[in-house]
Amino acid sequence: MRMKLYLNLILGLCFVMALGFLYYSSWRISLRFWVHKSVYDEQGFLLSLDSTLSLELTYKYGNLSEGACKPGFAAAKMTVIYPKFTKLAPVFLDPNYKRFSRIGNFPPPFGVKSQETIIDHLLSLTKNYGLGEDLDSLNCKKCIIIGNGGILVNKSLGQKIDEYDVVVRLNGAPVKCFEKDVGSKTTLRITYPEGAIQKTEHYEDQSLFVLSAFKAQDFKWLRHMVYKQNLVRLTDGFWKSVARRVPREASDMRILNPYFIQEASFKLIGLPHNNGQMGRGNIPTLGTVAITMALHNCDEVAVAGFGYNMSTPDAPLHYYEKVKMLAIKESWTHNIPKEKEFLQKLVKAGVIQDLTNGICGAKC
């Protein structure tokens, strides 16, 4: 009798303990789920932007002499605040581009769908698909992207800019007569047809001419440039007149991997997917596309000339012309505030360095 009572008591106790344990563990699981959900924002960036590297990397980088290039630094920092980041994405299209499946399902500007024939043809003409022997063989590259902002004026950053291994310039941004502030070296000039320099004498002597294609027409334009054929009508299919000649040999022309537009728009900035079609407000600016490219292909990434300061309406909008900040218009294609939010994350977390501090101002 007594024995049975004890047994029941023990069984009951076990039952209560088991229930308690179940309750406790499910609470832990839901707590962890809740915590996990709240750590990242909609795009998948760490909310607190704590970009502390592993002890091993911190030690490795701390051991390098001051100013030395830190291999894999930008990608490592990026991965900490954005775990979905995977480094592999070549700068330019090469004859193996069809193996890079992420661009096959989207038409331009997000991919290559239905443009394969003309791309294959262009690649067979340019025959070169890298940055050049010297740069391709470096085991650590420091890159800088030069934005066109008036914030560059009178900062005398030219010499510092020229020290980078890779200097990227965008569209028609001139170098001649502005060397003191923007440097004289140009490794890549990334443009779309409407943004390309129109006067051939305004090109620098040496640089790779890189097409960032936003529409099917842009590939046709590049074919004309490769064959040095004059375009008959300069406005057909373009939103403004385009350059009729580019003073570069085919071997110095490249096609930018459209994956960077896709990733910047849909993943990093979080612009509307619009069924993978170009639509109102889902095109990133070329500057942000170039930064995205650099995160995948450079070990350290810096920028200069980015950001507009609206509290100084009389300051120059661009470093090379007199148009004032006041003239900036609402953009239908871009989403400047969301883009700025993304760039601020990169600066705050130390993924990129902003030499002119226009992205954050006093904020980061």
Ligand X SMILES: *[C@@H]1O[C@H](CO)[C@@H](O)[C@H](O)[C@H]1NC(C)=O
316 touching ligand X, by CB under 6 A: yes
Report in angstroms how near the CB of residue 60 gets to ligand X at its nearest.
5
63 touching ligand X, by CB under 6 A: yes
Name which of 54 and 309 has its Cβ closer to ligand X.
Answer: 309
Contacts with ligand X in 134-153 (CB under 6 A)? 153
- Choose, by CB under 6 A, the member of 311, 329, 330, 332 that binds ligand X: 311
The rounded distance, in Å, linking the Cα atoms of 289 and 258 is 9
- Choose, by CB under 6 A, the member of 60, 102, 113, 244 that binds ligand X: 60
Report in angstroms how near the CB of residue 71 gets to ligand X at its nearest.
12
Report in angstroms how near the CB of residue 320 gets to ligand X at its nearest.
12
10 Å CB burial of residue 25 (0-12, 13-18, 19+) is exposed
Q: CA-CA-CA-CA torsion for 195, 201, 204, 208, nearest 10 degrees?
A: 60
**DSSP state, 231?**
P
CA distances from 88 to 85, 96, 102 (A): 9, 14, 12
Name which of 1 and 177 has its Cβ closer to ligand X.
Answer: 177
Name which of 150 and 258 has its Cβ closer to ligand X.
Answer: 150
Contact string 214-253 vs ligand X (x = CB under 6 A): ----------------------------------------
- Choose, by CB under 6 A, the member of 309, 327, 328, 331 that binds ligand X: 309
Name which of 46 and 153 has its Cβ closer to ligand X.
Answer: 153
305 touching ligand X, by CB under 6 A: no
331 touching ligand X, by CB under 6 A: no
CA distances from 185 to 165, 180, 204, 250, 321 (A): 9, 11, 9, 21, 20
Name which of 266 and 320 has its Cβ closer to ligand X.
Answer: 320
CA distances from 279 to 120, 154, 204 (A): 27, 38, 34
- Residues near ligand X (CB under 6 A) are 60, 63, 153-154, 309, 311-312, 315-316, 358, 361-362
